[in-house]
Amino acid sequence: MPLIVVPTPLGNLGDMTRRAIEALRDADLIVAEDTRVARKLLNAYEIGPKELWSYREQNAAAVTAGILERAREQRVALVTDAGMPGISDPGSDLIAAARAHAVAIDVLPGPSALLGAAVLSGFDVRRFIFEGFPPRTPAARREHFSAALRAGATTIWYESPQRIVASLADLGAVAPGAQVFLVREYTKHFEQQLLGTPAAVAEGLAQPVRGEIAFAVAPYASAAPAAAIDVDGEIDALLEGGASVADVARNLARRGAGERRELYARASERKSGRR
């Protein structure tokens, strides 16, 4: 029998898949980050009484072996409070333990805040890096943001409502012109989406800040390298060489000439002017 990883809704109960409901209904044991949250979910879908075990960082060492033993003989479902188990929660350690002990694993597709933020951003996410939660201290956050920005790819982050303003301030300190897309309370009634510089996004947050937060940061380069690029000249040369508008925007964004969306609009305008 496998350990079945079951994604749960981020907020909107309509996002629960039929397979996920059936997996919970058929499970002999449900392992949950918070059993109280799991019981509310089961009640919402009218799933009868189930044996529930708590699995969290504080008790993982004591319960892992028992969970794996049950998974060898019975159906064991793993859920988190919201979204995909194993993404920035203790479930990743249980999945790794199952893999190490040759316990079969089945992962059902379902909601993920990081993918939602990535797609909603409109940034180039053919390559992106999930960074999880930033460090808790300002100095460590700035260092971490600086290192992530040097990767040259869109980065996706989670943050708590208590620290998001401070995190955006630290991001702004190392990359004031970075483009940030933030989604708060994704899929919920009071969902909020913000796009802009770190300072602008922080200014737009509803106060007091509440709810789950994910944000994406577009690939960023400082103004100095970009100033050395004749953007219009490069656009014209690339278009003359047969490159598409999308290819022109990607090429120049990688070289630090600006944000891909703005470069796309600029290249489109210059292409239209050449006709």
Predicted confidence (pLDDT) at residue 4 exceeds the cutoff of 60: yes
Mean pLDDT calculated for residue range 59-87? 94
Which residues make beta-bridge pairs with 128?
A: 154
CATH architecture of 113-220: 2-Layer Sandwich (3.30)
- Residue pLDDT, tens place only, 183-206: 999 999 999 999 999 999 999 998
Predicted confidence (pLDDT) at residue 273 exceeds the cutoff of 80: no
List of residues 6+ apart from 7 with CB closer than 8 A:
17, 20, 79, 83, 84, 85, 108, 109, 110, 111, 112
pLDDT at site 162:
96
What rounded mean pLDDT belongs to the chain? 90
Tell me which CATH code domain 3-107 carries: 3.40.1010.10
Give residue 275's pLDDT band: very low, low, confident or very high (50, 70, 90): low
Name which of 17-21, 62-66, 78-82, 148-152 the model is least confident about. Answer: 148-152
pLDDT at site 228:
58
pLDDT at site 210:
93
Mean pLDDT calculated for residue range 1-9? 92
Return the percentage of the chain with pLDDT > 90, whole number.
69
Predicted confidence (pLDDT) at residue 63 exceeds the cutoff of 70: yes
Residue with tokens 């002999």: 28
φ and ψ of 211, to 5 deg? 95, 175
Mean pLDDT calculated for residue range 234-250? 87
Burial class (CB in 10 A: 0-12, 13-18, 19+), 13: exposed
- Residue pLDDT, tens place only, 136-150: 999 999 999 998 998
